[in-house]
Each structure stands twice: as C-alpha cells, then as structure tokens.
Chains A and B, each alone.
Chain A
C-alpha cells in the first residue's frame, strides 16, 4: 500500500474540485486531488456547455443571476481558450408568455446583465434557421465552455504550484481519529493498488455524490440528484446560444447551446435516487425534439447525434422541495465542525459550472480560516495555463485552421473532429491507461458524426503499436469504446444517424469481423456488457 500526505485533500475532479485545487495551490497550500474516474467525468462533463450570462435566473433568482454575470466576465479573462464567445439570445416564441419578455428585460438590467433587444430581421440575419414567428429577441453575453479543457487547465495550473492530481482513484474510506477526519483511503482503478493519504483538511467536492462521501465521515448531508437529459445535434443549426424567454421553473428543453462542432439542446429535470444509474427515457428525447422545433422549426430534420444525462447536485438543508427547479442554484458550503461536530472536513456542493471559481474562492477562504491563516485569493486575476499558447477565445474554425497552417501535422486519424496521429501519439505517451475514451476526452476522438466508425480502428492500431499492448488489450479497448459510443447513440437512432450506425456495423462486423473473434480475445462477454450498462468504471477493470 502506498502512503502519501498532503495539507489539503480535495475529493472530486469536476470543475469545482479542480477549481478548489488550483485556488489552494495558488495560495500556497500543498494540495492533492482524488478523482474516481477521469477529470470532469461526472456532472461537469455531462452538461450542455453553457457559460451563463445569468439571464436565465434574472427573474426568479436575482442573486444567482448576479453571480453568473460577474463570474462570466471573470472566466472570459482567465480561461478564454476554453470559451467560445457565441453570445446568447433569449427568444420569445409564440408558445411563450408575451408579458414575460419585459419582465425579463428589466430583471436583467437590475442585476447588470447587458441585455439588448434586437429586431426579428436582425435575429434572422444572424441566425437564419430560427423561427421567424419569434416575437421578441434579447441578446445577452452567454457563451459556451469546453469543460475538458477547463478542468485540464486548472489541474495543470495547480501542478505548476506543486499540486498533485490522481485520476481513477476512488475513495473507499475516510480516515477518522476521534471526531477528526485525517485522511482517505483510495483504490487506484487502473492498477488495483490502495493509496492512503493523510491530510490536515479534506474538502468534499463530489457534487451529487456528496451525501455518500459525507456519510463516510458520519455526517448527514442530503444532496439530491437532479437528472438533466441533453441531446447533441450533429449540425450547429445556430451559432449563438438560444434560450427561450420563459420562467425557468417548469420549462424543459428550452436552450440550444452551440459547442464545439455540435448544438446541444437541454434539458429535463427529474429527481433520481442513484446518481450512478439513470437511464434516458423516451419521453425526454421526444420532448427535446418537440421543444427544439419551437426555436428552430427545421430542428427535427437535423441529425440527433447522442443523448446523455448528468445529475445536478441539489443540496437541501431541511425538508424536501417538491420541484427541483425551485431549489436555488446557489451553492452550499458546509463546515462540518459546527454543523455535525466533525472536524477538518468541508463539503462544497450545489451551484453551477459558471460559478465554480467563486465557489472555490469561498471554499478556500474557509480552509484558510480553519487552518488559521490569511492568504488572498488571486484566481480572478490569473490567466490559466493554456496548452494552445495564445490567450484568445476558442473559435469553431481553429482546428481546421491549425490543420491548414500545418500547426497540426501528421495523419488525420479522427477526420470528423480533426485529430492527428501526432496528437494521439503524444497523448498515449503521457498516459499509462489504454482507454480510447481518454483520447476522446482529451482530444475529442470519436465525437463526430460517425461516432468512432472510422477512427476507433485506427486509434486501436496506434495504441497496439505505440504502447506495445497485447492483442487482447487492444481488442478490448476497441470493443469498449464502440460500446461506449453505442450507449449514447441508441436512444437517438433514427433517420440518417441510423444509416450511420449501420455503416459502422458494416465496418466492425462485416469488414473487420470483430464480433467473431474468439470471446477470450475480443473481450466481448456478458459480464462486460453488463458493466458498460452502468456508467462508472467499465473503462478499467
């Protein structure tokens, strides 16, 4: 068993945990982060990618709205390379209450969100596919944000200050001495090794899983899991974030976010009991398609690429609220010492992606107080590590441009998302796992229309060669990634995407005969299929 010690141990590698880690490290704490899967694999990686302007909350939750616009402007400065400055629109369709539009506009201005009304002609000039029957339009500074890049930049920036990040480490136990939490035991999901880490203070940043982790420290915390289902549409039918101008409570499928090469429509809101197991239901898919049509009349003519769901952490101190959307999106920072009589343990949960930095600042302020030190937060002024060099907004065309200018050189392996062999080989060289899904998260391999149809075989071939894997390991990586892609596709397979699936089937079954390799060689067996059915650790076993 490996032993480590640190000053502050952060559990949870979503954007909040990564943000806390960076803030701690920058304020000079020795900090370590444990994440049970890959960074941003939980809720942070399962949202629509919206960097809120705050417009959405302006009417019913002005405090949250104000936080959003403040943080929106800060994040644009500190992580521009993760942000595409799409701008946003709030549109009042014939299905929406007309009186809400004025209320919305006034509420925005009260909390300093620069909403501007534009004409329908101007709206159609900017976004020709929007519904010409829309009655009013307001622009706001919404944007879209690349969560994988953001989390990676945070931990790399933290590492520059000496922080350590351990992915695929699942906490199995919190170590207590009397009423103090003194460390955690984690299992390395890749090697199976156990690691014990002692720390002066432990921060729980595990979102919807907060109740489970707190229970390991004998604290009673209620965090509801609010499932939100989203669908990525294959084509960016809008290049601006489009929100319905409606009261956010009781409204599903009211936003389309252009992010990367896709447009994401979201979301539903359903309470689920288990944050690890929440199937996407048929009615949710149907609803998204119907609501999408209200904003973009030809919405259903476009291809739905994938559906997925994430679980929002909804902290509740006392008594259950009946409607999840009525719960404030403000976050909760719990000091378990006064609250539960458990020392050296802090929980940060709730909130939104957009306000992660503010949450991290508050959390680290509390850490300072508890460790009896005063150190100023500088995260609002510090531009994060940017692997791409220049600090400017991410643009949709940037990958294509890099390929054209030769900045990306080498064979194109994932043609849909423009990922080159050099990028893949560099990534493989720094990664001791052999999971194609890692390459997806880091480089977007397999995220395009063909959903790995062509690149999975190529990536497997490169992995086999570069990492000198056995054929069993290679075949398994191949099969698992195809199955992972299938899992997000099969809820939205119809029309052209079903034709795509049949082409992929033709490649892997007809041309390659992958399914007919002996099971011991291909890793296709019932047990593994059962594993891939539940989200979590199917990637390593």
Chain B
C-alpha cells in the first residue's frame, strides 16, 4: 500500500510550495526535509528579477519589461525554459497559497531598503516591507535598538540619504524596554515575540511617539511579531499615527520564518505529511522510473514509496549539490549528472561580491521542459522532477531570480502532476 502520491524532498521555498500546491489539489504528499530550509535565512520577499543586465547596479523597475532581454542573455535559465506566463501564474498562485499577505506593485518591483540601506528590488513583499518602498518619497525614520546587534539604523538611513533618492531619512537608536533591555544577545525571533506583547509595544510607543512627528513613516527592524504580525503592525500604526514598515535584519529572518510557518500551516492543515530533520540518502531508479527513496531514520534506512518524486534539495547551500577537495561535484540522492569543471580554480572569481557570480553557483541538474532530469536529451526518470536552486544555470545572484525560480518551477510541477 503506497501511502503517498508524491514525495517532496526539501523544505525550502520550492519544496514547500510544490507540496502545498499538490496537497491542495487533493494529493497525498509527504515532504521530507533535512532540517529547515533556507527560507528562514532569506529576506522573506519574493525576488523575480532585480537586475538586468545582471552585473548592473541599477535596479530593474518594471521587471516584465526586462524579462525578455534577461532570457535572451540566459537561454538556459529556468525562466527561459518555462516562459513569462508560467512566472505570472506562479506568482498569482503563491499569493493565494497562505494566510500571509504578499503584495505586488503592479508590474513594478518594490524597491525596499536593506539593512545597509541598499536598494533591494523585489516583486512580492509582505505589506509591512512594501511600505518601505523607496520609489515613494515619503520621509522615513528608521528605528533600531542598542540590544539588537543585527540592525544598524544610522548606517541604513545615511546610505539611503547618500543615494539621493529624494527621501528625507533619519535614524533613531533606542534602548529596549524590559524585558528586552536585559537580553544582551537578543535574536530577531526573540524580539519578534516581545513585540507581540501589548505592554512592551506600549512602552516603546511612548518613547518613539514624540520623536517621530516629523516623519511620514517609521521603519523598524523586521521583528514586528511572528504569528500575530498583522495585529502588531496595525496596533503600532494606530498608536504612532503613521505607516510603519519593516527592514530586514541579519538572519535568522523573521519575515522568512513567517513565510515558512505559513506554508507549513497550509500544508499541515491540508493533511500533508511532513518529516523535518530526516535526510533522504538514496533513491532507486529502475527502467526510467523512481521506485523508492530511502530516508535515514535514527536507526535504519527506511523506504518511502510514491508515484512521483520532487527533488527540491537546493543548490550547494541547501546541500542538494555536494563538492569535495578533489573537484568532484555530485547530487547525493540520485547521483544525477552535474555538468561541472573538476578544476576547482575555475569555480571562483577573484572577487567575493562578484558581479558575474561565482561559476560554481551555476552548477546544477539539467532538465527538460517537464523538469525531469536528463542525460543527453533523454529523461533519467519520468516521475522525478527538479525544482528550485538545484536546477542548473540558476545562480540566484545573477539577476536576483532565486525565489522566482522556486515558485515558477514549483507551479510547473504542480500543474503537471495535479
């Protein structure tokens, strides 16, 4: 008796989204993740195309206008494989997927400030982040806290000012009220739970209120609540009498965590099965079909059997691609072919912040238009699908397309299987 229709391997954005779509369509889905995916490390915004040409430092405003030139420059990128319509469908489907609201700025990117005050162009953002849009010249006060080592408001506001965007920007660094003040190494997540307490907010508001009168909107580190985020923002806006927005912090990211929890909630509510903390160590392919994968439970390997298998294990960061000192590069579950150069010196550029990307970051699994992995042009297994950053030619640093790829490929697989 096979308990599942589809096994999804990987708990990042691509895996979770695929799992949610399929479960919503009535499938019985098992999602297996070796730990929590990289969602909680990211910004929590959905970047679709931020820079084109990719090495430019000028952010893309209307991303649909630049998509065709991006595809022309990157004919092997997953976008080029699936096309603009699929991207739009994926964005639309994502917006209805969870209880967490994501907003689109028409066909334009949101241009939101980062934690150094750089412009972060992004397609879908939670309203709390979108309200920091730098295309809007409303003045802003960035508020931060001495106790939070992951956010420096003066650096943010001065870097915004230095970019001459016509936005009056100032910063304010406060001490947290108790019980925050005694927490020396408070994490963004801990602070977010404090923000859910009304009396804590009340104490903060009493300090900020008098000092924010000259500003049109107030920026906070992205710690405005976890599960009760929407209520926290509404309350702060009401009390401060002006829009409140969030600016990302160093990871772990609260907006990323909110998205993770929202997707998990959607999936579990729909009776999806989830196993976090377990590694899928091997997969068996017979006659062009995957017959099972094996998970490593704490004491033995256990087969998991389904009709279809979706591999969403990520790129190098996620562990979907492994490398070693001998210059070997491999995909650890199915040993899928990864086109690579085994001379490690070709993997990198001399620059860390490389405008052209580190070549190693483009390594991945080559697929057909059904996202089945292929060898030469032949599918290796026609019930195996690859989504997200495990795909070849999908280095997210190039154009900032990572989450766009995750959503688009997830939607495509859901359409094929659902």
Contacts and interface: CB of A to CB of B under 8 A. Distances in A.
A465 B159 contact: no
A507 B115 CA distance: 10
B317 A485 contact: no
B36 to A, nearest CB: 14
Given A475-B116, A511-B248, A495 B323 contact: yes
A7 to B, nearest CB: 45
A504 B352 CA distance: 10
A506 B149 contact: no
11 contacts: A457-B115, A457-B152, A464-B154, A464-B158, A465-B152, A486-B352, A495-B324, A505-B361, A508-B353, A513-B114, A514-B118
A189 B270 CA distance: 65
Given A482-B352, A511-B248, A282 B345 contact: yes
A339 to B, nearest CB: 43
A509 B327 CA distance: 25
Contact of B116 (A470, A514, A519, A529): A514
Interface stretch (A312-320, A409-417, A437-445): A409-417
Interface in B298-347: 315-317, 319, 322-325, 327, 344-345, 347
Interface of B: 38, 41-43, 50-51, 57, 59, 114-120, 147, 149-152, 154-155, 158-159, 162-163, 173, 184-185, 248, 250-251, 253, 315-317, 319, 322-325, 327, 344-345, 347-348, 350-355, 358, 360-361, 396-397, 400, 402
A471 interface: yes
A533 interface: yes
B134 to A, nearest CB: 12
Contacts of B43: 510-511
Interface of chain A: mostly helix, strand, loop or mixed: helix
A437 to B, nearest CB: 14
B317 A507 contact: no
A195 interface: no
Nearest to A461: B152
Contacts of B57: 515-519
Contacts of B41: 503, 506-507, 511
Residue of A282, A512, A519 with highest tally of chain B CB at under 10 A: A512
Contacts of A457: 115-116, 150, 152, 250
Interface in A171-195: none
A454 interface: yes
A507 B323 CA distance: 21
A509 B397 contact: yes
A389 to B, nearest CB: 23
B353 A493 contact: no
Nearest to B353: A515
B360 to A, nearest CB: 7
Contacts of B117: 471, 517
Nearest to B44: A511
B116 A493 contact: no
B316 A499 contact: yes
A414 to B, nearest CB: 10
A498 B316 CA distance: 7
A464 B157 CA distance: 12
B353 A411 contact: no
Secondary structure dominating the interface of B: loop
Contacts of B347: 493
A517 B324 contact: no
Nearest to B47: A510
A515 B350 contact: no
Contacts of B324: 300, 494-495
B233 to A, nearest CB: 21
Given A300-B325, A510-B396, A511-B248, A461 B352 contact: no
Contacts of B114: 511-513
B325 A513 contact: no
B83 to A, nearest CB: 25
A458 interface: yes
A521 interface: yes
Contact of A507 (B250, B316, B322, B397): B250
Among B41, B118, B402: residue with most chain A CB under 10 A: B118
Contacts of A483: 351-353
Contact of A516 (B59, B150, B155): B59
A519 to B, nearest CB: 7
A412 B316 contact: no
A471 B158 CA distance: 7
Contacts of A285: 325
A456 to B, nearest CB: 10
Given A413-B149, A479-B353, A493-B347, 12 more contacts: A409-B184, A458-B152, A462-B152, A482-B352, A485-B352, A499-B316, A502-B361, A513-B120, A515-B353, A515-B354, A516-B118, A517-B163
A507 to B, nearest CB: 7
B155 A521 contact: no
A289 interface: yes
Contacts of B316: 498-499, 502
A464 to B, nearest CB: 5
B317 A503 contact: yes
Contacts of B360: 498
Given A498-B360, A511-B42, A512-B118, A461 B325 contact: no
Contacts of A79: none
Contacts of A460: 152, 155
A474 interface: yes
A421 B150 CA distance: 12
A490 interface: yes
A289 B325 CA distance: 9
A524 B173 CA distance: 28
Nearest to B164: A518
Nearest to B358: A505
A509 B400 CA distance: 9
Contacts of B159: 471, 475, 517, 521
Contacts of B152: 457-458, 460-462, 464-465
Nearest to B51: A516
A428 interface: no
Nearest to A530: B350
Nearest to B403: A510
B123 to A, nearest CB: 14
- Top-7 shortest CB links A-B: A461-B152, A486-B352, A513-B118, A502-B317, A515-B353, A513-B114, A471-B158
Contact of A411 (B149, B323, B325, B352): B149
Given A465-B154, A516-B59, A471 B397 contact: no
Interface string A519-541: 10100100001000100000000
Interface string A189-230: 000000000000000000000000000000000000000000
A471 B164 CA distance: 13
Interface string A293-323: 0000000100010000000000000000000
A470 B50 CA distance: 27
A514 B319 CA distance: 25
Contact of A511 (B253, B317, B355, B358): B253
Interface string A46-78: 000000000000000000000000000000000
Contacts of A529: 350-351
